[in-house]
């Protein structure tokens, strides 16, 4: 349904409020996506030259919302394209008069008002750049649409039981109160539904283009005085405040979601088609282990036990490896994200998608409860950054850079470049090295630096 | 298998290490359980007289491990029996010589050594007292057995990949290291497995006695310098330390586990047999709501959205109500616990058990990392206490009582009684009232007060 308006929008260009159009035929097959860099990166329309891994930033001629900074660098020949994508924009959410039925809305077309949100997102593609490009084109439309669907509830002091404002039962406000439902919960619900919607769109688009691939998604939305960070995958967002660092996301990988993944295989063993074992072992087992009691974990265990090894345990484990090497079905390094509808384990008929989740975890930060200082920022970055820099290293770089560059109008862009540079390191022979002679990041790296000061006054 | 030794133990009396006995026949059907109070409560063998809700404590002639205190009171005529049960004991875990095969163990029978653990547990029964009585009789045996199965790994500096100590692969220790597997993880795994085992035993016993019912389980185990608290249900354990309060458990109720429960119904809609809706609404819907957009949540949502109500949404919700009134399938107030294998939703064929989990969440407290002071205690109590007293109120009572009663050798027993008394309140007319004229607890109330000082030196 909604996927349909997005598809039509893609064919026909943006429309403020696409509605059903029964006269519209199926139309020609959608054109293949053209690879591109984000629109706000100068030269973004061209295919990215590798260019010795030069760091590229947002141009000063098209400033990002809030004067945010952005920078990126392509991977060290891991893939033909930079599989990261970025998006940011203002989101205008059309306000509805409470109590008006949908078919009466034309009555207030003139007094229409908008609520304004601000959106930044990073997508880290795998299996090709396509899913990340579609996500960077569509997710904000899905969010706008889902927010508009509930906006009547968001603008009330307390979300009403009935969106129409009609009161079917006198004690409805008490029921809503008892469940502690606030406007922020509607925004969280809208983000959760938007990710699901966007995943559906990607599935349809990729199928129609006969493409495969998926992407992680990390989206930040500032709306009505609160910052919402929705994450599905292994990108990360942190608030670097004057006195502390607030993690705004957590990573979803085969390791962090082992129990959910194993439990699904326990409930539906056919998903493994006899090719994988659901148990976790410290390493892949071999013939010599059969009959021995070895360390293992099943879906219900946070602890470890010993299991007498049977032949079936020699199969490849559903979740295997450790840290950056951890894989789901030997195939994927993340357990949440968008796309991958067509992904199968190589040389098998085993689908990966049932084990993936497209649902983000949403964290909320209420600006009204914090005294935001001048140099407080939100840092969003793909795993290319976090693989080599921890939160406290990033926080330290942010604080010292901003303290030393008080007046530069491009300071947030420069800081984004500085962070990407640091994680990419320098080329020494055939290797990319950090300052401290550890290996640098060979991955695509994308970073937003978003200043927060005085934004609640917008 | 292990359920079998427990059953035979129950028939034949305790054995230090029950092993398979192929000669043993099926035996006579087990006798019906006799209702009783915990063995360490004087008069515990008799059926509990209601006695005006007199608070009963552990007798001073049979001191509990560590001089712990215990007190209990029966409910205000909610059920015929006090459905809470308590257990505590020392657990001796037989140490095995690493590297010895099971059939060589007779060689070291003389040098056998034991590791000593200390165990306290509370069980809150529903649908009758039986499940709680069986659990209080068996869970410590299950824990002992599961610990003995892995003890060879616990006593090593690092758990070996192979329980036998044999090294199949040179880098096995690195694999174990990489996964951060420590001895404590084996204890956690043993507790998780013990709860599952005990649940199985209860299912078999209750079936053979043609009984129904279930119970929550909260178990504390002190073992090798660490305190493990395993919880399945809505009892609670907190550490009251000099300077802070450390929650050692969290509650599992239809509300706290809504998403897990709804997800199962999404995966297996047949479990609801067309009688329930999986969606959550702030209140039960009625005919007038049909066609309206009302607040709702599905399994993947932490936030809320609006859903156009269909007729099917008028069915009773899978998870319904709020706080103490929240129910799973309109039937149960907890979402984890032991037993309930036969429980069906009244007047239907819908089983509740698939939605229940018998797996505890285990929290670990490492004594070596804390400076335990003289009056630091672990408080364990069933929901009868926590329904009317919050953590900070309990902590304040604990601290002031112990400060004012420095020398009484029975101070921990007296404190337990004092806590139970406070939550039970006083009878005023037909009501039980707290001091501050709020309603007191009408439920069964059971409390352990366990002193922690110097226990790591045992």
Query: For each of chain B's 458 residues, which pLDDT tens digit applies?
Result: 445 544 544 544 433 333 333 333 444 445 567 888 998 998 755 555 566 789 999 988 889 999 999 999 999 988 888 999 999 999 999 886 655 555 555 555 545 678 999 999 999 999 999 999 999 999 999 999 999 999 999 988 899 999 988 888 899 999 999 999 999 999 999 999 999 999 999 999 999 998 889 999 999 999 999 999 999 999 999 999 999 999 999 999 999 999 999 999 999 999 999 999 999 999 999 999 999 999 999 999 999 999 999 999 999 999 999 888 999 999 999 999 999 999 999 999 999 999 999 999 999 999 999 999 999 999 999 999 999 999 999 999 999 999 999 999 899 999 999 999 999 999 988 889 997 678 999 999 999 999 999 775 54
- What are A155's two structure tokens? 């603008």
A179 touches chain B (CB under 8 A): yes
B302–A169 CB contact, under 8 Å? no
Window B:355-394, CB contacts with A under 8 Å: 357, 359, 361-362
Q: Which of B157, B161, B164, B159 is nearest to B187 (CA)?
A: B159
Domain spans of chain B, in order of start: 58-96+113-160+181-251+358-451, 258-333
Helix (H, G, I), strand (E, B) or coil at B351: strand
CB contact under 8 A, A292 and B164: yes
CA atoms of B179 and A282, how far apart (whole Å):
7
Q: Which of A169, A186, A304 is nearest residue B189 as measured by Cβ atoms?
A: A304
Which candidate, A402, A333, A295, A123, places its Cα nearest to that of B182?
Answer: A295
Of A146, A191, A306, the CB nearest to B149: A306
The span from the first CA to the last CA of chain B, in angstroms, equals: 34
pLDDT at B151: 93
State whether A305 and B196 contact (CB < 8 Å).
no
With an 8 Å Cβ cutoff, are B302 and A161 in contact? no
User: Quick count: other Cβ atoms within 10 Å of Cβ B426?
Assistant: 12
* Residues in B 308-337 with any Cβ partner in A closer than 8 A: 322-323
Among B175, B296, B302, B322, the residue to mutate for chain A (most A Cβ within 10 A): B302
How many alpha carbons lie under 13 Å from residue A257 in its C-beta half-sphere? 26
What confidence score (pLDDT) does residue A45 get? 52
Cβ-based contacts of B166 with chain A (< 8 Å): 292
Q: In sequence order, what E strands does B288-439 have? A: 293-296, 305-308, 316-317, 319-320, 327-328, 338-339, 361-366, 377-381, 426-428, 431-433
Could you say which residues from 71 to 90 on chain A have a Cβ atom under 8 Å away from some Cβ of chain B?
A: none
Q: Confirm or reject contact between A153 and chain B (CB < 8 A).
A: yes
Could you tell me if A186 and A150 are in contact, meaning their C-beta atoms sit under 8 angstroms apart?
Answer: yes
Say if residues A458 and A116 touch (Cβ distance below 8 Å): yes
Decide: A443 and A75 in contact? Cβ < 8 Å: yes
Q: Do A292 and B190 touch (CB under 8 A)?
A: no
- A266 and chain B: CB distance < 8 Å anywhere? no
Could you say which of A186, A302, A322 has the minimum Cβ distance to residue B304? Answer: A186
CA pair distance B399, B406, nearest whole angstrom: 11
Q: Does B263 touch chain A (CB under 8 A)?
A: no
| Ranges under pLDDT 50 in chain A | 1-2, 5-6, 8-9, 11-27, 29, 110, 458
Q: Using CB atoms, which residue from B163, B169, B288 is nearest to A306?
A: B163
| Residue whose C-alpha is closest to residue A412's, from A360, A455, A358, A441 | A455
User: Of B202, B248, B230, B7, which Cα lies nearest the Cα of B120?
Assistant: B230
Cβ pairs A/B, distance under 8 A:
158
- Of B411, B90, B343, give the one whose Cα is nearest residue B206: B343
Grouping H, G, I as helix, E, B as strand and the rest as coil, residue B153 is helix
Question: What six digits make up the tokens of B343?
Answer: 């429980």
pLDDT of residue A26: 44
CA atoms of B317 and B331, how far apart (whole Å): 11
Angle (CA) A48-A53-A58 rounded to 5° is 60
The verdict on A269 touching B (C-beta cutoff 8 Å) is no
Q: Provide the CA B140 distance to its chain's centre, in angstroms.
A: 12
Chain B residue with Cα closest to A300: B359
Considering the domain B58-96+113-160+181-251+358-451 in this protein, what is its CATH number? 3.60.40.10
Separation of first and last alpha carbons in chain A: 34
Nearest-angstrom CA–CA distance, A224 and A125: 31
Q: Which residues of B touch A297 (CB under 8 A)?
A: 189
Q: Is B1 on the interface with A (CB under 8 A)?
A: no
Q: What is the 3-state secondary structure (H, E, C) of chain A?
A: CHHHHHHHHHHHCCCCCCCCCCCCCCCCCCCCCCCCCCCCCCCCCCCCCCHHHCCEECCCCCCCHHHCEEEEECCCCCCCCCCEEEEEEEEEEECCCCCCCHHHHHHHCCCCCEEEEEEEEEEEEECCCHHHHHHHHHHHHHHHHHHHHHHHHHCCCCCCCECCCCCCCCCHHHHHHHCCCCHHHHHHHHHHHHHHHHHHHHHHHHHHCCCCCEEEEEEEEEECCEEEEEEECCCEEEEECCCCEEECCCCCCCCCCHHHHHHHHHHCHHHHCCCEECCECCCCCCHHHCCCEEEEECCCCCCCEEEECCHHHHCEECEECCHHHCEECCCECCCECEECCCCECCCCCCECHHHCECCCEEEEEEHHHCCCCCCCEEEEECHHHHCCCCHHHHHHHHHHHHHHCCCCCCHHHHHHHHHHHHHHCEEECCEEECCCCCECCCCCEEEEEEECCCHHHC
Q: What pLDDT, on the 0 to 100 scale, is given for residue A256? A: 97
Q: Rounded to whole angstroms, how far apart are CA atoms B311 and B290?
A: 6
* C-beta neighbour count of B458 within 10 angstroms: 10
Which of A305, A320, A354 best tests the B interface by mutation, with the highest count of B CBs <10 A? A305
Q: Is A178 on the interface with B (CB under 8 A)?
A: yes
A267 interfaces chain B, CB cutoff of 8 Å: yes
Q: Which residues of A touch B322 (CB under 8 A)?
A: 178-179
Nearest to A379 by CA among A337, A409, A336, A415: A415
Tell which phi-psi region holds residue B124, choosing left (phi > 0), alpha (psi between -120 and 50) or beta.
Answer: beta
> Would you state the pLDDT for residue B9?
47
Question: Which chain B residue is nearest to residue A359, measuring alpha carbons?
Answer: B300
Residue B248 to residue B238: CA distance in whole angstroms: 5
Residue with tokens 């079905």: A329
Which residue on chain B is closest to A299 by alpha carbon?
A: B359
How many other C-beta atoms can be found within 10 angstroms of the C-beta atom of residue B197?
22
- Determine contact, residues B456/B225, Cβ cutoff 8 Å: yes
Contact A134, A202 (CB under 8 A): yes
Minimal C-alpha gap between B293 and chain A (Å): 6
Pairing status of strand B56-57 against strand B69-73: antiparallel
pLDDT given for residue B225 in this prediction? 93
A292 contacts B162? CB cut-off 8 A = yes
Q: What interface predicted TM-score (ipTM) does this complex get?
A: 0.90
What distances in angstroms separate CA B135 from CA A70, B48, B192, one per listed residue? 59, 19, 15
3-class SS letters over A163-186:
CCCCCCCCCHHHHHHHCCCCHHHH
Instruction: Name the A residues in 282-301 with CB < 8 Å from any B CB.
Output: 282-283, 286, 288-289, 292-295, 297, 300-301
């Amino acid at each position: 349904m909604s996927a349909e308006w997005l598809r039509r929008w893609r064919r026909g260009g943006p429309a403020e409020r696409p509605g059903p159009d029964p006269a519209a035929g199926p139309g020609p097959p959608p054109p293949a996506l053209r690879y591109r860099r984000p629109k706000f990166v100068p030269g973004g329309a061209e295919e990215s030259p590798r260019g010795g891994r030069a760091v590229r930033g947002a141009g000063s001629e098209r400033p990002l919302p809030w004067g945010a900074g952005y920078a990126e660098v392509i991977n060290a020949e891991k893939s033909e394209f930079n599989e990261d994508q970025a998006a940011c924009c203002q989101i205008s959410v059309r306000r509805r008069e409470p109590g008006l039925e949908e078919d009466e809305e034309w009555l207030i077309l003139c007094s229409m008002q908008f609520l304004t949100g601000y959106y930044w997102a990073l997508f880290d593609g795998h299996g090709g750049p396509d899913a990340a490009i579609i996500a960077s084109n569509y997710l904000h439309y899905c969010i706008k649409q889902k927010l508009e669907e509930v906006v009547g509830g968001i603008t009330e002091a307390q979300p009403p039981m009935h969106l129409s404002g009609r009161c079917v039962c006198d004690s409805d406000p008490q029921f809503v109160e008892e469940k502690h439902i606030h406007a922020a919960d509607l925004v969280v619900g809208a983000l959760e539904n938007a990710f699901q919607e966007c995943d559906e769109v990607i599935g349809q688009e990729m199928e129609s283009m006969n493409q495969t691939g998926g992407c992680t998604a990390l989206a930040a939305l500032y709306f009505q005085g609160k910052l919402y960070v929705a994450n599905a995958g292994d990108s990360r967002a942190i608030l670097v405040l004057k006195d502390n660092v607030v993690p705004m996301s957590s990573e979803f990988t085969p390791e962090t979601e082992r129990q959910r993944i194993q439990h699904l295989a326990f409930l539906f063993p056919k998903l493994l088609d006899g090719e994988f074992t659901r148990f976790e072992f410290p390493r892949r087992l071999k013939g010599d282990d059969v009959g021995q009691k070895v360390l293992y974990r099943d879906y219900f265990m946070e602890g470890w036990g010993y299991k007498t090894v049977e032949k079936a345990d020699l199969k490849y484990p559903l979740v295997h490896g450790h840290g950056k090497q951890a894989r789901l079905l030997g195939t994927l390094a993340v357990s949440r994200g968008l796309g991958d509808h067509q992904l199968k384990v190589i040389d098998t008929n085993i689908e990966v998608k049932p084990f993936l989740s497209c649902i983000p975890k949403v964290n909320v930060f209420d600006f009204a409860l914090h005294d935001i200082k001048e140099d407080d920022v939100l840092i969003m970055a793909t795993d290319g950054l976090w693989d080599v820099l921890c939160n406290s290293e990033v926080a330290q770089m942010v604080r010292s850079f901003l303290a030393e560059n008080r007046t530069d109008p491009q300071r947030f862009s420069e800081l984004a470049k500085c962070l990407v540079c640091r994680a990419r390191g320098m080329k020494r022979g055939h290797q990319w090295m950090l300052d401290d002679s550890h290996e640098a990041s060979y991955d695509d790296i994308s970073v937003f630096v978003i200043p927060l000061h005085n934004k609640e006054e917008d």
